[in-house]
Amino acid sequence: MAFTDDLKFDAAGLIPAVVQDADNGQVLMVAWMNREAVEKTFETGLAHYYSRSRKKQWLKGESSGHTQRVLEARTDCDSDVLLIKVEQQSGACHMGYRSCFFRLRTAEGGTVEDGQKMFDPGEVYGSKS
């Protein structure tokens, strides 16, 4: 596959993927992909990633049902970062929020939660959340 062949994976065989809501441009999450995850994403039309902590490939939404249908994939000018535009089902964040970027740093140095909570992670993941 030419697109995959042009990508520059790091020494661990991974490439970062910035995941964006195709409808409104909101950044939903940042994840890692290996070659297999990229190829599986193109084959199925659903986002697949590589978990560095679990050391395995995973389908976004395999536990929660909150899948990401991929509508567009782009690379940066160096081909070492992916921008994946998706149609997100419910929340992208494992903490229940629409976006993983739900914390807002205030001018006073504090942090407030400023995101849309889409689901209760305890109900979806049980004690794993």
Q: What are phi and psi of 123, to 5 degrees?
A: -75, -35
Q: Does residue 82 lie within any of the structural domains?
A: yes
Q: State the Cα–Cα distance between residues 113 and 117, nearest whole angstrom.
A: 10
List the chain pLDDT tens, one digit each, 129 residues: 578 999 999 999 999 999 999 999 999 999 999 999 999 999 999 999 999 999 999 999 999 999 999 999 999 999 999 999 999 999 999 999 999 999 999 999 999 999 999 999 999 998 754
Does residue 49 fall inside a structural domain? yes
Query: Is 129 part of a structural domain of the chain?
Result: no
Structural domain tally of the chain? 1
CATH number at residue 66: 3.10.20.810
125 domain-assigned: no
Q: Please tell me the pTM assigned to this model.
A: 0.93
The parent domain of residue 38 ranges over: 2-117
Sequence length of the chain is 129
Neighbours of 24 (CB within 10 A): 6
